[in-house]
Amino acid sequence: MAGPRNISVSGASRPVLPRHAKLRYDETRKVWVILAPERVLAPDEIAVEVLQLCNGERNVGDVADQLAAKYAAPREAILVDVIAMLQDLADKGFLTEIREKTS
Amino acid sequence: MSDVTIPPSDSLAVLEKQRSTAETFGIPLAVLLEITHRCPLQCPYCSNPVELDRSGKELTTDEWKKVLSELAEIGVLQVHFSGGEPTARKDLVELVKHASDAGLYTNLITSAVLLTRERLSDLADAGLCHVQISFQGIEEGLADRVAGYKGGHRKKLEVAKWTRELDLPLTVNAVMHRQNLHQLPDIIQMALDLDADRLEVANVQYYGWALKNRAALMPTVAQLEECTGIVETARERLKGRLTIDYVVPDYYALRPKKCMGGWGRQFFNISPAGKVLPCHAAESITGLDFESVRSNHSIAWIWQNSDAFNRYRGTGWMKEPCKTCEFREIDFGGCRCQAFALTGDAANTDPACALSPLHETIFKQAEAEAAGETSRFLYRNFAGGTLESENGT
């Protein structure tokens, strides 16, 4: 089954792009794009990096840890920005998450 | 993140859109492939031309494959397999596979009535990214009557269910007009019940078949205002759950729509016979010669250099009142096909614009038709249309 919709992103979430949203490098225009039904989104560099780290195993907190280490920046500020970016994507219907099986 | 989003009827955008001026245009991000005009449905608002391409004229499997490879090479990112009914082509799975292998994002725009579960599953395996199913109403009485196809509505519901079972994302496309607008709240609920990701509430656009059926389809102003209110409330309520795209008919607007994002700027489609067209209705404009993928020219050459694309590209072709209008690069004078159909000259201002000398006349006419008694359809078919019988069959 498809992943859940209408998700609320937190540090513990393990978000992933759903099947209908594909992150791809556009060779012609030299930009990263997210391909979705009747839409093409143009994520900025940070968004691309975050989405590449969102592999369904890492949670948002892990992603913030990695970025904080890489950019030697305060983790809490990064976490806030990453959650805001992912929540925006979720509200547009282009993000789902991995949840533990309940049955 | 910038969201390059486009109303479904103008289904494309260029990423460079913020920087673009009237004369610049990139290769479209998405292309509509009308792989056949054959369709078991007979919807009276069909967006296909009144003069349909017969099956003998359709591009072959190899020709379509060559087109798909070429589109991917020049930088197109998405293709919409449409029609007619695209599943009427026996080679659809093969074409979707070829497109996926070329790296294209593939979308199927279908009436669904010819699909089996097995074939849908084969399409999913071939890499299909998204399925869009049209619905004509909320219950089979009205829906089957609009489609001119008995049993269609029930089949669509079944295929929508299979789509989600196969983990394919689903868009419900609801084409709205005077005779089904009252069902809109239930259509939104149906989209939720079907577990759709996206709903297109698309008011009929009045060219071709729909123009012939305008008196039976045109909504009243009050209906349209109610519809807009319902969509806005639902959008807020269903944020993150169901994306709703909304297309209004432009007859009741003061400003025309930026049709296709401007002629030859963001969009082209390919007809069953391989013509490369600035929009799916463009062949209704007489006096334009459209190049085919069967010609000696590449698709990129046709897009950039052919006379038909250059004729109304940018703003140089404009007459007054468009020529000096401050909005000329905002809406590009509206829709060329509508201007041609209603004024006889595609270079005239689209009468949907309040600045067109014909705007008032057309608005009044539409209002009168919306209030009128006509509800019989002229069904779409290869024979030039069949009028619905008095008792609605």
Q: What is the pLDDT of residue A3?
A: 66
Binned at pLDDT 50, 70 and 90, residue B24 comes out as low
Pick from A40, A47, A89: which is nearest to B29 by CB? Answer: A40
Min CA distance, A83 vs chain B (Å)?
14
Tell whether the model's pLDDT for residue A5 goes beyond 90: no
Predicted complex ipTM: 0.82
Min CA distance, B229 vs chain A (Å)?
20
Q: Report how far residue B59's alpha carbon sits from residue B293's, in angstroms, rounded to the nearest whole number.
A: 9
Contact B240 A47 (CB under 8 A): no
Task: Report the run of H or E that residue A81 belongs to, with start and end.
Answer: helix A75-91
Residue type for position B365 = Q
Contact A41 B3 (CB under 8 A): yes
Min CA distance, B136 vs chain A (Å)?
21
Q: Tell me which chain B residue has its CA closest to the CA of residue A2.
A: B167
Model-level pTM? 0.90
**Residues paired with B386 in a beta bridge:** B379
Tell whether the model's pLDDT for residue B60 goes beyond 50: yes
Q: What is the pLDDT of residue B248?
A: 82
- Asked if omega into B272 is within 30° of 0 (cis), the reply is no
Tell whether the model's pLDDT for residue B339 goes beyond 70: yes
Please tell me which residue, B267 or B392, carries the higher pLDDT value. B267
Tell whether the model's pLDDT for residue B388 goes beyond 70: yes
**Residues paired with A15 in a beta bridge:** A97
Tell whether the model's pLDDT for residue B124 goes beyond 80: yes
% of chain B residues with pLDDT over 90: 80
Q: Tell me which chain B residue has its CA closest to the CA of residue A45.
A: B1
Q: The sheet that has B130-135: what strands, in order across it?
A: B243-247, B198-203, B170-176, B130-135, B105-110, B78-82, B30-34, B269-270, B276-277
Share the mean pLDDT of chain A: 89
Judged by a CB distance cut-off of 8 A, whether residue B317 touches chain A is no
Share the mean pLDDT of chain B: 91
For residue B126, give Cα distances in angstroms to B72, B82, B121, B333: 17, 17, 9, 41
User: Residue B39 phi/psi, 5° resolution?
Assistant: -160, 135
Min CA distance, B3 vs chain A (Å)?
5
Q: Which of the residue ranges A18-27, A59-68, B189-198, B266-275 would you say has the lowest mean pLDDT?
A: A18-27
Residues in Cβ contact with B161 at an 8 Å cutoff, skipping those fewer than 6 apart: B194
Contact B4 A38 (CB under 8 A): no
Residues of A within 8 A of B8 (CB-CB) are 38
Which two three-digit tokens encode residue B131? 């399925």
Q: What is the mean pLDDT of residues A30-46?
A: 90
% of chain B residues with pLDDT over 70: 93
Min CA distance, A47 vs chain B (Å)?
8
**Residues paired with B247 in a beta bridge:** B202
For residue B138, give Cα distances in angstroms to B39, B153, B189: 21, 8, 10
CB pairs under 8 A between A and B: 96
Tell whether the model's pLDDT for residue A16 goes beyond 90: yes
Q: What is the mean pLDDT of residues B314-335?
A: 93
Of the candidates B182, A11, B161, the one whose C-alpha atom is nearest the C-alpha of residue B172 is B161
Pick from B13, B107, B243: which is nearest to A92 by CB? Answer: B243
Q: Report how far residue B336's alpha carbon sits from residue B312's, in angstroms, rounded to the nearest whole number.
A: 8
Q: Report how far residue B68's alpha carbon sits from residue B111's, in angstroms, rounded to the nearest whole number.
A: 23
Residue type for position B60 = T
Q: What is the pLDDT of residue B363?
A: 83
Tell whether the model's pLDDT for residue B264 goes beyond 70: yes
Q: Tell me which chain B residue has its CA closest to the CA of residue A28.
A: B75
CB contact at 8 A, B269 and B67: no
The backbone region for B67, taken as left when phi is positive above 0, alpha when psi lies in -120 to 50, beta otherwise, is: alpha
Binned at pLDDT 50, 70 and 90, residue B2 comes out as very low
User: Residue B172 phi/psi, 5° resolution?
Assistant: -95, 125
Binned at pLDDT 50, 70 and 90, residue A54 comes out as very high
Contact A38 B6 (CB under 8 A): yes
Tell whether the model's pLDDT for residue B9 goes beyond 60: no
Tell whether the model's pLDDT for residue B17 goes beyond 60: no
Contact A24 B15 (CB under 8 A): no
Min CA distance, A99 vs chain B (Å)?
17
Q: Tell me which chain B residue has its CA closest to the CA of residue A31.
A: B15
- Tell me which residue has tokens 């432009």: B250
Contact A6 B241 (CB under 8 A): yes
Q: What is the pLDDT of residue B214?
A: 94
Q: Tell me which chain B residue has its CA closest to the CA of residue A6.
A: B240
Please tell me which residue, B286 or B183, carries the higher pLDDT value. B183
Q: What is the pLDDT of residue B393?
A: 54
Min CA distance, B63 vs chain A (Å)?
24
Residues in Cβ contact with B21 at an 8 Å cutoff, skipping those fewer than 6 apart: B329
Q: What is the 3-state secondary structure (H, E, C) of chain B?
A: CEEEECCHHHCCCCHHHHCCCCCCCCCCCEEEEECCCCCCCCCCCCCCCCCCCCHHHCCCHHHHHHHHHHHHHHCCCEEEEECCCHHHCCCHHHHHHHHHHCCCEEEEEECCCCCCHHHHHHHHHCCCCEEEEEECCCCHHHHHHHHCCCCHHHHHHHHHHHHHHCCCCEEEEEEECCCCHHHHHHHHHHHHHCCCCEEEEEECCCCHHHHHCHHHHCCCHHHHHHHHHHHHHHHHHCCCCCEEEEECCHHHCCCCCCHHHCCCCCCCEECCCCEEECCCCHHHCCCCCCCECCCCCCHHHHHHHCHHHHHCCCCCCCCCCCCCCCCHHHHCCCCHHHHHHHHCCCCCCCCCCCCCCCHHHHHHHHHHHHCCCCCCCEECCCCCCEECCCCCC
Q: Which of the residue ranges A82-91, B22-31, B171-180 would you say has the lowest mean pLDDT?
A: B22-31
Contact A37 B77 (CB under 8 A): no
Tell whether the model's pLDDT for residue B81 goes beyond 50: yes
Tell whether the model's pLDDT for residue B3 goes beyond 80: no
Chain A residues within 8 angstroms (CB to CB) of chain B: 1-2, 5-7, 18-20, 22, 24, 26-29, 31, 33, 35, 37-44, 47, 85, 88-93
Which two three-digit tokens encode residue A55? 């592999």
Interface test with A, best of B6, B18, B77, B199 (most A CBs within 10 A): B77
Judged by a CB distance cut-off of 8 A, whether residue B198 touches chain A is yes
Radius of gyration of chain B (CA): 20
**Residues paired with A40 in a beta bridge:** A35, B4
Tell whether the model's pLDDT for residue B1 goes beyond 50: no
Residue B112: CA count within 13 A, CB half-sphere: 24
Q: What is the pLDDT of residue B12?
A: 32
Tell whether the model's pLDDT for residue B306 goes beyond 80: yes
Q: What is the mean pLDDT of residues A46-54?
A: 94
Tell whether the model's pLDDT for residue B224 goes beyond 50: yes
Tell whether the model's pLDDT for residue B269 goes beyond 90: yes
